[in-house]
Amino acid sequence: MIKITFPDGTVKEFEVGISGIEIAKSISSRLAKEVLSITVNDQLYDLTRSINEDASIKLHTWDDEEGKHAFWHSSAHLMAEALQELYPGVKFGIGPAIDMGFYYDVDLGEDRMLTDKDLPLIEQKMLELARTKSQYTRKDVTKAEALEYFSSIDEGYKVELINDLDDGTISFYEQGNFTDLCRGPHLPDTSYIKAIKINSIAGAYWRGDETRKQLTRVYGITFPKKKYLDEYVILMEEAKKRDHRKLGKEMELFTFSQNVGQGMPLWLPKGAQLRESLETFLKRVQKQFGYEQIITPHIGNINLYKTSGHYDKYGEDSFQSIKTPQEGEEYLLKPMNCPHHCEVYKFKPRSYKDLPVRFAEFGTVYRYEQSGELHGLTRVRSFTQDDAHLFCTPDQLKDEFKKVIDIIFIIFKALNFTEYTAQVSLRDKEKSSKYIGCDENWEKAERAIIEAAEEKGLNTVVEYGEAAFYGPKLDFMIKDAIGRKWQLGTIQVDYNLPERFDLEYVGSDNQKHRPIMIHRAPFGSMERFVAVLIEHTGGKFPLWLTPEQTVIMPISEKYNDYAKKVLNSLNNSDIRAVLDDRNEKIGRKIRDNELKKIPYLLIVGEKEAQENAVSVRRQGEGDMGTMQITEFAELIKKEVEGQMSSISNY
């Protein structure tokens, strides 16, 4: 017999070799139908895999990320089998589960390509195969056996992947007529998959290398019930309406130009105003918490990033070196702000009495993302981080970390992000080569993050292997207005850069000590944050933030002069107002400015001009009646003050 410990601490005995599905059946038949995977001693297992020793377990259903992951990973294999049957000779790259569904990269051959017309055929074939109730069967083989098998069926991409693996046991998964190289876990069989949507087709270079062959990437999503698919379709329709690329164009916030370069956003006047409001807001909050603003260059000597370790880790993803015309020095476009901030810290000797030191910068950085990975503002090559680096003593670390959490809370409240979890991102100790620094410092940093999160009462999840290469971190995962999850805000503890840059302070014992460094970016990047904010709000920003708070619309050219008088009066009251004096009917002006998400629409004509008034409409709500200009200005000011007061009273 073996002892199985459940999440609530209950311990039960089972026979050696019990499986997850059998444990679920012992609890209830309903649970057995809903469970999708199991964690055994922090390792994900197939439900059908034997458990042969005492273990702590957690059963995962569709409500859990682990359950969805197994479901969508199994679906990727099912789609591969469907493609194999529909398009003989297809070769397979990789097919992972992703945040919303899965994809598979495939090589269809030189003379074949998929179009949107193929998507229903793939769905139909997947449903047909799902109904066969084929079991997902795990098989462990040696590396030599794996190479022999995939070489024999001419799967060169799989052979390349296997050659990169360490010697030892490798797992295959088989279902129906398809066999794949895979770690799992998977569903017990294909019948769990009830509803299927193949979403799109894209190009993807093999292993993200633009010098390699471009494969076809097929995206899909599946569900255990058709009603979930129906809800998803509605969600996707809403997501299309909120797409930041669409709204950003309609609202004239940002644009891109091939002449400037891919992934290099150009902020238009209204977008620049939006960014300025966000920066002003955060600077005001940071000032209350004792931050000092600094400015650093957009480039740095290549040796700076070699010292920090960024060049070794990210050199291939950086824009390559810039050589000076005469001296022969090499520079990089700045991929990170933190090495520059370390040099600012070293500007003068520091005492323990000076700490903590908190440097903040809206610093623009540059990273070379593959062209196929670029996506609106969420994946760009040039972006501005709301970066700050704190240098503190060991005794100050936890309190400083908790204060950063407070700043993130203020931001989330200001922008109505009410649902979020905190992800504690730790290292994978089995892959120590990915990280720099000694075990002792890593353990101190991880313990400080975990304790700070507990003391702030955060709802946390722990993810191993998601730490930065120089230290563990706390990432905030928010849920937007239509239920999608985004990573916003990060706090990282770093013992390693102070060591690499030889940072010091003189302690109360008159001896030299190393400060501890905290990296933090509550927005993350201005570009990605604005993209998420647009989609979260549908472009309807809070009044304090919106670039254009009101628009004045004369009903004919006769009243343009009065409209300009209203404009000047509002601008003098620090209200962001614009004039729409186009020679268009008032109905057209209203529709156009509603589309731009301007909160207040002011209509002026003969009556308004005579009474020194404006006719007021609230975006999406309709007519609010006629007001004096001063009365309307007071309305705007009070609404903004109310919003800001609510934030400051956090």
- Helices (DSSP H) in 507-559: which residue ranges? 526-537
- Helices (DSSP H) in 289-325: which residue ranges? 302-308, 310-314
Mean pLDDT for 296-316 is 86
Catalytic residue positions?
338, 367, 385, 387, 389, 473, 519
- In degrees, to the nearest 5, what angle opens at C-alpha 269 toward C-alphas 265 and 271? 55
- Report the 10 Å Cβ neighbour count for 370: 16
d(CA 398, CA 454) in angstroms, rounded, equals 11
Report pLDDT for 648. Answer: 62
Who's near 6: CB < 8 A, 6+ residues apart?
A: 12, 56, 57, 58
Report pLDDT for 643. Answer: 85
Tell me which residue of 548, 550, 549, 565 sits closest to 608, measured CA to CA. 565
The average confidence (pLDDT) of the chain is 91
d(CA 411, CA 283) in angstroms, rounded, equals 12
Task: Provide the total of helices (H) and of strands (E) in the chain, helices listed first.
Answer: 20, 35
d(CA 306, CA 409) in angstroms, rounded, equals 35
Of the given ranges (50-54, 79-83, 148-152, 416-420), which has the lowest mean pLDDT?
A: 416-420
Query: How sure is the predictor about 647, in pLDDT bands with cuts at 50, 70 and 90?
Result: low
Mean pLDDT for 332-354 is 94
Who's near 347: CB < 8 A, 6+ residues apart?
A: none
Report pLDDT for 168. Answer: 84
Decide the pairing of beta strands 577-579 and 600-604.
unpaired
**Residue 531, pLDDT above cutoff 60:** yes
CATH code assigned to 288-296+337-537: 3.30.930.10
For tokens 């503190």, the residue is 392
Which amino acid would we find at residue 471? G
Mean pLDDT for 542-560 is 95
Mean pLDDT for 462-466 is 81
Report pLDDT for 110. Answer: 84
- Report the 10 Å Cβ neighbour count for 392: 21
Mean pLDDT for 267-294 is 95
Report pLDDT for 210. Answer: 78
Which amino acid would we find at residue 319? F
CATH 2.60.40.10 fits 550-648, yes or no: no
536 marked as part of a ligand binding site: no
**Model confidence pLDDT, tens digit, residues 97-122:** 998 899 999 999 888 889 999 999 99
DSSP 74-112: HHHHHHHHHHHHHSTT-EE----EETTEEEEEEE--TT-
Query: How sure is the predictor about 320, in pLDDT bands with cuts at 50, 70 and 90?
Result: confident
**Residue 291, pLDDT above cutoff 80:** yes
- In degrees, to the nearest 5, what angle opens at C-alpha 288 toward C-alphas 284 and 289? 115
CATH 3.10.180.10 fits 66-241, yes or no: no
Mean pLDDT for 554-576 is 95
The residue extents of the domains of the chain are: 2-61, 66-241, 288-296+337-537, 550-648
CB-CB contact of 136 with 187 (8 Å) = yes
Report pLDDT for 435. Answer: 77
The CATH class of 2-61 is alpha beta
Report pLDDT for 510. Answer: 95
d(CA 321, CA 303) in angstroms, rounded, equals 11
**Residue 323, pLDDT above cutoff 80:** no
- Rounded to the nearest 10 degrees, the angle between the axes of helix 65-86 and helix 119-130 is 110
The DSSP bridge partners found for residue 219 are: 103, 200
Highest mean pLDDT among 49-63, 326-340, 455-469: 49-63
Query: How sure is the predictor about 487, in pLDDT bands with cuts at 50, 70 and 90?
Result: confident
Choice between 555 and 326, residue whose per-residue pLDDT is larger = 555
Tell me which residue of 624, 400, 346, 365 sits closest to 520, measured CA to CA. 400
Report pLDDT for 190. Answer: 97
Choice between 367 and 106, residue whose per-residue pLDDT is larger = 106
**Model confidence pLDDT, tens digit, residues 594-631:** 888 999 999 999 999 999 999 999 988 889 999 999 99
338 marked as part of a ligand binding site: yes
